[in-house]
Homo-oligomer: A and B are copies of this chain.
Amino acid sequence: MNKNPVGVFDSGIGGLTVVKEIRKILPNENIVYLGDTARLPYGTKSVDAIIKFSLENTQFLISRGAKFIVIACYSSTSVALDIVQKNISVPVIGVIKPGVKRALEITKTGRVGVIGTSLTIYSGAYEKIFREIDDQCQVLGKACPLFVPLVEEGWLDHGATELIARSYLEPLKDDNIDTLLLGCTHFPLLMDVFKEIMDDINYVDASREVGLKLARELKRLGLEHPGKGGNLSIYLTDLSMNFKEIGERFLGEKMKNFSRVSIGGK
């Protein structure tokens, strides 16, 4: 048992979909979230920069008492997970592997689709993890760069969103995938649109799988919070104009407790 908070970081506020799932699965845990909005996007930065930012973010969460670190950022998980794990004494999980494992558990045909931003898909990070676990599976990656701005606009049921989703998903449908992994923190908000286009396949929401993995790990390590009613504190390195409106869309609840904080001189 441990009353300290779980620390979660992302380059922006998309990681709040991971927090949403953690709060559903583990309502008694305290959570400290750090969104490094001043330095986003990470995907276009050098590997060295992403490692430096990831270590700084982790250090901030540990200074806030974090007993466990969740990296809710795809770029950080891709290039910095191992290094963060080696550098700190608390346990760390990333956002990629839990979804991959779940997809491989439920696929029957071994044909799995993955959708994400261009950076996530073209980096090959997903394909590498899939192959490490099962070298027989067929992974069909599809970059969907318009979904993030559509979600940030809040156009979840706009006619354009359905047309765009059809353009992106039809090729995966034609390839007869039986499982689709949503490899981006923003995408769970479009689940209803995806299901209208392909309703006879399995969906894996990476944000939810991270929450489930965290629950298993906290239990295994005896780190669960003993009390009731966990708090959520949100720190952002920059407060953009509409972060609150967008953040609450991801979080599925009001953002009550947020502050601006400086990390790494930004």
Contact = CB atoms under 8 A, between A and B. Distances in A.
Contacts of A145: 149, 152-153
Interface stretch (A15-23, A97-105, A159-167): A159-167
Contact of A146 (B44, B118, B149, B240): B149
Interface string A105-140: 000000000000010001000000000000000000
A45 to B, nearest CB: 9
Contacts of A146: 146, 149-150, 153
Interface residues of A, number: 24
A163 B164 CA distance: 11
A221 interface: no
A110 to B, nearest CB: 27
A135 B20 CA distance: 48
Interface in A4-23: none
A160 B38 CA distance: 31
Interface in A157-211: 158-161, 163-164, 167
Q: How many monomers of this protein are in the complex?
A: 2
Interface string A197-232: 000000000000000000000000000000000000
A118 B158 contact: no
A158 B149 contact: no
B118 A241 contact: yes
A48 to B, nearest CB: 11
Contacts of A158: 163-164, 167
Interface in A231-266: 238, 240-241, 266
A160 B167 contact: yes
A156 interface: no
A40 interface: yes
Contacts of A161: 160
25 contacts: A38-B44, A40-B44, A44-B238, A44-B240, A46-B266, A118-B241, A122-B241, A145-B149, A145-B152, A146-B146, A146-B149, A146-B150, A146-B153, A149-B149, A155-B167, A158-B163, A158-B167, A159-B160, A159-B163, A160-B160, A160-B161, A160-B163, A160-B164, A160-B167, A163-B163
